[in-house]
Every structure is written in structure tokens, then in C-alpha cells.
Amino acid sequence: MAGSCGSSCSSQESQQAAMAQQENAITKSLGKIKNKIIVMSGKGGVGKSTVSVNLALGLANRGHKVGLMDVDIHGPDVVRMLNMTGSLEPPESPDDLVATLDYNENLKVVSIEYMLRDRDEAIIWRGPMKIQAIRQFISDMDWGELDYLIIDAPPGTGDEPLSVAQTIPNLKAIVVTTPQQLALADVRKSINFCKVVKLDVIGMVENMSGFVCPECNAVVDIFKSGGGEALAREYDLPFLGRIPMDPRIVIAGDDGAPYLVTDAKSPAVDAFTKVLEAVENRVPPVAPIQMAAPGAVAPKVAPKAASSCGCGTGGCDTEKCDC
């Protein structure tokens, strides 16, 4: 009996010591990161990973040191959306931090997917294992000094976003929605989640708001528009912008070449640039940034001749049409 008690007590002490050591590692890692932002939504399929990936890469392109952490354990996407094919390399010493995947000199990425031998393998984990994985993403990975850590969370208000909120002090949130009422009903739960766990909301993004015609580049409201902006007003939250659907976003995501941070002439790119600037202004980096190409503003393209575009905007008879 006494021997059994001694073994049990020793095991508990070891677990407590390991937890304390991990807490110290988490605190040390987070101390080097100036801004922590979770991108979340109560609704799946609203383009949250697209926003996360393009936001991280857009900030990196502006000269900031950025980390992108994918905590969607069961459906990680960011590695594929960035076409990153590297795999986890164990550190030389057990006491060393694990190297991140580096997209470029300004963007570091961590996802469960690049830690698997087979990327199509299903992750069949309950809550405690997911929570521990997320904690290890912070404590064991070599993030270094960052201006921004962007965290792509799965839909809902369960283990993953809750673990992030409870592990990372001074965390802020960006809430993504689509304009439809069904999506807005679920997104309200995300806003209330932020209230309960005391997360500051940087703002809301209304994604898939309208459709960019591939022929004339005009935005057509084939679905509803403005629902996300109305919800932001209802909850007295900043509204960061409305991003229309563009077929090129889908193609670029499949090809691993994010589209919204390119120089392409598209209302979607223009809209996302405004979202990016709004985030940068609301959550500025502490250190000054260096822009790679100051003043590199694309010239305004002269309107083309009127066309018989079938998007329903009436060709050049509308101000929104660039055809």
C-alpha cells in the first residue's frame, strides 16, 4: 500500500513539474510575440482559412515578422494553401526548440499536417490531446521574435478556440462571416464566446459578399450582402471590410499561391487590402516596419470599351464595372 502511494505521488509530482516547465516555456515564447490574433467563426465554410493565410502573408509582405499557427487539428489547410511541402525536423538536442516551416524570411508556419508522415491520415483525437497539441505548438516551436501571430481556428466555440483563449494572454479576435442569416446566427455565438472569455474583437470581416464577374470584373450581388456589417453594428464592433467571391481565389488556394495579396486587378484584392490595412492600423506592430518598395502604387487603368457582358451590370453603364 505504502509503495503504491509513493509511486502515485511521485508520478503526480512529475506531471506537475512537467506542466510547470511547459507553462514557463509558453510564457517565454509568448513574451517574444507582440500581437496574437485568432481568426474564428461559428460557421464552417465561410473562408476563415483563406482570410488567415492571406492576412498572415499580407502582413509578412509588408515587412512584419509573422507566425501562422493552424489549430484546426482535424481539418488543417494552411500548409496546402501555401504549397509548403516540408516535413517536421526533430531538433539536434532534446532541449532545443522544434523548427517551424518557413514560407519566407518573414513568415513561419506551424500545423499538425506537416508533422504527419501521411498528410491524408485522419486525426482521431479527443479534447485533452488537442489541447496538449496546441500548447506544444506554442511551447515547443521556435517562433522567435514576431510582430504578429495569426491563429487559424476551426469553426465553433469548442476545444481549440477555448484552449487558445485560455493559453494566450492578450489574445485578440477577428470574426469572419458570410452575409446569409444562417451564417450570422452561428457567428453570433462566436461574438458571445469572445465576451465570455474576455477576448477583444478587432473587427468583423464579411466574406463571399457578392461575386466578381470573370468577364468584366464587376461585383454582382448574387447572394445577400451587408449582413456582416449589420451584425457588427448590432454588437458595436468594428467592421473591417466586405470581400466578394472571385473564382481566382479558389484556383489560387488549390495551387498554393494566395491570391488576395497579389497585384491582380480585382475588387476582391482591393477589398482585402483595405481589411489588411485596417488590421495593421488597429493592431500596430510595436517596432517600426520597413517597406520593401515604398510608393509602389499601381496606376489606374483607363476604362475599356463597352462590352456586352452577361453579368447583369450593363457593361460600362455602371460605375462598378471595369470592362
pLDDT of residue 94: 79
Residue 290 has which C-alpha cell? 520597413
Specify the residue for cell string 510595436: 286
Show the CA angle centred on residue 35, arms to residues 34 and 41, nearest 5°: 165
What is the pLDDT at residue 115? 85
Per-residue pLDDT of the chain (323 residues), as tens digits, is 455 566 667 788 888 888 899 999 999 999 999 999 999 999 999 999 999 999 999 999 999 999 999 999 999 999 999 999 877 788 888 789 999 999 999 999 999 988 888 888 889 999 999 999 999 999 999 999 999 999 999 999 999 999 999 999 999 999 999 999 989 999 999 999 999 999 999 999 999 999 998 888 899 887 778 999 999 999 999 999 999 999 999 899 889 999 999 999 999 999 999 999 999 999 999 754 444 544 444 444 344 444 445 555 444 444 444 44
Please give the backbone phi and psi of residue 246, each rounded to the nearest 5 degrees, phi first: -140, 125
Distance, CA of 298 to chain centre: 27
Residue with C-alpha cell 451587408?
226
Q: CB 194: neighbour CB atoms within 10 A?
A: 23
φ, ψ dihedrals at 98, nearest 5°: -85, 135
Alpha helices in the chain (DSSP H): 2-30, 48-61, 78-81, 127-139, 159-167, 181-196, 227-234, 247-255, 267-282
**For position 303, what pLDDT does the model report?**
41
Determine the pLDDT at residue 12.
83
Give the amino acid at 108. K
- Give the CB-side neighbour count of residue 101, counting CA atoms within 13 A: 21
What pLDDT is attached to residue 120? 86
Which pLDDT score, from 0 to 100, does residue 5 have?
62
> Exposed, middle or buried: residue 322 (CB in 10 Å: 0-12, 13-18, 19+)?
middle
This prediction's pTM:
0.85
Q: Return the SS3 of 123.
A: coil
